[in-house]
Amino acid sequence: MKKTRSQRGPRGTGGQPSRRPRSPGAGWAARPPHRSPASVDQPMQPLQIEALSHDGRGIGRVDGKACFVRGALPGEQVSWRRESSQRNFDQGSVVEVLVPSPQRQPPGCEYYPRCGGCSLRHLDAGAALAYKQQNFIADIERAGLSVEQWLAPLQGGSDGYRRRARLAVQKTRDGRVELGFRNAASRRIEPLQHCRVLTPLLSALLGELPSLLAAITLGVVEVELTESDGAEPVLLVALSAAPGELLNDSGAARLESAGATIAAALSLSPAQLQLWWRDHGERDFRPLGAASTAHIALSQQLLLACRPGQFLQVNGAVNRAMVEQVLALAGGGELAVDLFAGVGNFSLPLARRYRRVIAVEGLPELVASGAANAAANGIDNIEFHCADLNRPLPKTLLDAPRRERIDLLLIDPPRSGAAAAMDWIGATQAKQILYISCHPATLLRDAGQLLAAGYRWRRAVALDMFPHTAHLEALALFERD
């Protein structure tokens, strides 16, 4: 799931029958809403694919005009179907792979490529990461920027890595409940019984969820799944109600009974499967029944409490490696400031390296959770503050750090970046700035401002948080001369 601090709103429902593609290119075609001119939606002559786009499509050229083809890889020759034609480019999908790339691999998933959860399962994961990093390097160069040193990318397993996922829900005409990710290139849902990128336990849970939702007549638009760490992991199943649907005590009891049955089917104790509910329009989920605190591990010594709805890095292995990389780059010292701190993903580890940590987050409930996490881990040198980081920061927030020099300023913003905070960040004259980015385009924008303020881009690391997708995250280190 791409990183965001806001909740996704309700979406429409729909679906299509599940079927296995008949050939390496089958299943890529998506019927566009309208087709003109006449050449659109007609099979085209074989196309040589030269590159991979930022969103994972192959790029070829016909008479100099760029053609973006879903399902094609660099070095391949494909037959393809044009689905839309613009003045400067065409878009389409693979009909048949005529000459395959040596990097092409069997997807290993019966729902691919219809399911939109993955877009690059047909490409070796290591090769996919290399293409994504190359595209990012090219973007940096086009922006007139440069990185002094690229460190080794951080990558975990390509399957079984997602410890959290949000699934859409729909009811079929005959009353069956289906859950899944959105279809590629459409708003329809691909019904799933299992999922290769989810942890094995969450994948097994997926097939049991229709029976849970069938226990009530209320409409549910989304289900969020989370698996905690530990020898006895806890599964958090959070249901978001459709507009106008209110859960009464009888409905809650039926859900709890169905949840206990599912836990037994998965060889879990009742305490290892928690049910949570959120009324339409509400921000927070509430537990149904008793719910002990579930945790994720940042290291062997540090645990974070996790609950539905709060931001969580979905890839635990890469997140732990990222925290270790941050600590390796951070010089240590007196003061570290963590902006967009969330519940303490970086603040808690940094507290072991700095005498004082100031953590700033925009949501009061996350500030409270961060403080609770620090206390639970026996850490008393973090100060948690609430401030709207999407607006220019108040001068009072600037005054406090100026009393002592900031050794490290860490930024972990959402996709929109840290534009509103950049003037404040530059004025602090922090010795080091570590920027964790989930959207390279906004990183480049903010990096330009840091370089103009006298910083140099010393190190960069590509982060493969979402294998089998075109999404890339990055870690950047800036230091003053």
Active site residues: 438
Q: Are 27 and 109 in contact (CB under 8 A)?
A: no
What are phi and psi for residue 47, nearest 5 degrees?
-125, 135
Provide the H-helix boundaries in 180-268: 200-206, 209-213, 249-265
User: What element of type H or E holds 408?
Assistant: strand 408-411
User: Does the annotation list 282 as a binding residue?
Assistant: no
Q: Are 8 and 182 in contact (CB under 8 A)?
A: no
Q: Is 260 exposed, middle or buried (0-12, 13-18, 19+ CB in 10 A)?
A: middle
414 Cβ contact list (under 8 Å, min separation 6): 3, 4, 5, 6, 340, 438
Residues 127, 442, 11: CA angle, nearest 5 degrees:
80
Closest CA to 320 of 342, 302, 298: 298
Closest CA to 238 of 195, 196, 273: 273
Q: Are 104 and 123 in contact (CB under 8 A)?
A: yes
Radius of gyration of the chain (CA): 24
Q: Are 443 and 474 in contact (CB under 8 A)?
A: yes
User: Does the annotation list 429 as a binding residue?
Assistant: no
Maximum separation of any 2 CA atoms in the chain, in Å: 69
3-state secondary structure of 287: strand
User: Does the annotation list 380 as a binding residue?
Assistant: no
User: Does the annotation list 384 as a binding residue?
Assistant: no
For the annotated binding site, the residues are: 313, 340, 361, 412
Query: Per the annotation, where are the binding residues for S-adenosyl-L-methionine?
Result: 313, 340, 361, 412
